[in-house]
């Protein structure tokens, strides 16, 4: 089986810091290669992979201020589509744009829908529904007008995360600094619970950061540590009393939630989107409805056994399980296409 993985090109694959879609594309690519499958990764030139690498873009457009993202996207996607006959199946992680090629090529395409950025893109998914196979990353993120081949949860490599039994007296917020991710609510929960908060992540909304978040940063009660890479992330998540994840949107998934649990760190999240599918109440974290409940949950976090928290994450969100499910999905698509 010859598989082409189409990764996004906003960030490196795998990402040096932020880049959840690129991270999953990388994890799947390397997992398939480890299984002996012939994989070609279509990504930026600086991608790190054991698969064959195909690239027409030297650097990710999010790091190249001279790049035109639309031009790079067109060149990147068309590079794969013009080589489509070289593969048995294409695995698309590039959202809706590659779907528009699906009736022009013979190679079947499977698309992991990493969430809907807007309802405005759904007509594209609907138009090409009959000619593609869609994978949802959580049951909560399914659109009722679309057909799905399967729901496959993301997997995280536990070897990249260190279990820390003894937690320190700080809380952590790890993710995009954006209103919908609830950075401000994390500060409120930490204040109500009486613990310092360490914030890490890409500042995606500069105005929000400057006006709402920055006034609280005193490097004592609230710290902003920047956009961290894997080593710093592991230390920060592992040492925390709990990860605060007070989202204000129907989040399709949350990689930082799994990453914290892999470190044996419980997660306190607003009960929205995929969170009820990811968090086991009282075993790996707590689902709450507001900041008051969040603060109360902080004071229960010590009741969660770090070993059981990590075990839950490994049992339910392993890389091995994710790769097996995708191989099964590929085979099913190939059987249907013949």
For the beta carbon of residue 74, count every other beta carbon within 10 angstroms.
13
Contacts of 78 (CB under 8 A, 6+ apart): none
Query: Which range of residues forms the domain containing residue 307?
Result: 158-316
Strand pairing report for 197-200 and 222-224: parallel
Residues 177 and 312 grouped into a single domain: yes
Residues 147 and 24 grouped into a single domain: yes
Q: What is the pLDDT along the chain (338 residues), one digit of tens a residue?
A: 999 999 999 999 999 999 999 999 999 999 999 999 999 999 999 999 999 999 999 999 999 888 899 999 999 999 999 999 999 999 999 999 999 999 999 999 999 999 998 899 999 999 999 999 999 999 999 999 999 999 999 999 999 999 999 999 999 999 999 999 999 999 999 999 999 999 999 999 999 999 999 999 999 999 999 999 999 999 999 999 999 999 999 999 999 999 999 999 999 999 999 999 999 999 999 999 999 999 999 999 999 999 999 999 999 999 999 999 999 999 999 998 76
CATH of the domain at 221: 3.40.50.2000
Q: Tokens 């690498």 map to which residue?
A: 53
Residues 163 and 299 grouped into a single domain: yes
Residues 116 and 35 grouped into a single domain: yes
Q: Tokens 């890479």 map to which residue?
A: 229
Residues 13 and 50 grouped into a single domain: yes
Written as six digits, the tokens of 243 are: 């990860």
Residues 181 and 309 grouped into a single domain: yes
Radius of gyration, alpha carbons of the chain: 20
Residues 179 and 250 grouped into a single domain: yes
Residues 24 and 85 grouped into a single domain: yes
Which ranges of the chain does DSSP label H, i.e. alpha helix? 20-34, 69-81, 122-127, 183-193, 206-208, 230-239, 255-262, 275-278, 291-298, 306-316, 319-337
Number of domains in the chain: 2
Residues 217 and 331 grouped into a single domain: no
Residues 181 and 134 grouped into a single domain: no
- Which residue, 95, 51, 50, is CA-closest to 76? 95
Residues 8 and 102 grouped into a single domain: yes
Written as six digits, the tokens of 312 are: 């839950």
Strand pairing report for 267-270 and 197-200: unpaired
User: Helices 183-193 and 291-298, interaxial angle, to 10°?
Assistant: 50
Residues 179 and 117 grouped into a single domain: no
């Amino acid at each position: 089986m010859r598989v082409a993985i189409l990764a996004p090109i906003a960030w490196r694959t795998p990402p040096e810091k932020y880049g959840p879609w690129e991270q999953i594309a990388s994890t799947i690519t390397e997992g398939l290669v480890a299984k002996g499958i012939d994989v070609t990764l279509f990504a930026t030139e600086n991608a790190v992979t054991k698969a064959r690498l195909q690239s027409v873009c030297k650097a990710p457009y999010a790091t190249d201020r001279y790049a035109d993202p639309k031009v790079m996207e067109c060149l990147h996607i068309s590079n794969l589509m013009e080589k489509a006959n070289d593969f048995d199946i294409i695995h698309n992680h590039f959202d809706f744009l590659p779907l528009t090629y699906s009736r022009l090529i013979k190679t079947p395409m499977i698309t992991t829908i990493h969430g809907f950025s807007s309802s405005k893109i759904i007509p594209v998914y609907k138009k090409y529904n009959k000619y593609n196979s869609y994978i949802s990353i959580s049951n909560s993120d399914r659109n009722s007008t679309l057909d799905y081949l399967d729901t496959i949860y993301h997997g995280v490599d536990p070897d990249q995360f260190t279990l820390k039994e003894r937690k320190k007296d700080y809380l952590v917020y790890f993710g995009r600094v954006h209103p919908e991710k609830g950075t401000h609510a994390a500060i409120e929960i930490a204040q109500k619970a009486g613990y310092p908060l360490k914030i890490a992540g890409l500042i995606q909304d500069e105005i929000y950061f400057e006006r709402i978040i920055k006034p609280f940063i005193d490097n004592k009660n609230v710290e902003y540590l920047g956009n961290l890479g894997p080593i710093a992330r592991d230390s920060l998540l592992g040492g925390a009393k709990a990860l605060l994840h007070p989202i204000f949107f129907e989040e399709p998934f949350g990689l930082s939630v799994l990453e914290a649990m892999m470190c044996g760190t419980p997660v306190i999240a607003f009960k929205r989107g995929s969170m009820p599918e990811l968090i086991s109440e009282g075993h790996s974290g707590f689902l709450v409805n507001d900041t008051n409940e969040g603060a109360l949950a902080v004071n229960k976090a010590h009741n969660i056994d770090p070993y059981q928290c990590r075990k839950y994450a490994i049992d339910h969100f392993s890389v091995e399980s994710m790769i097996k499910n995708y191989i099964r999905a590929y085979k099913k698509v190939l059987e249907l296409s013949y």
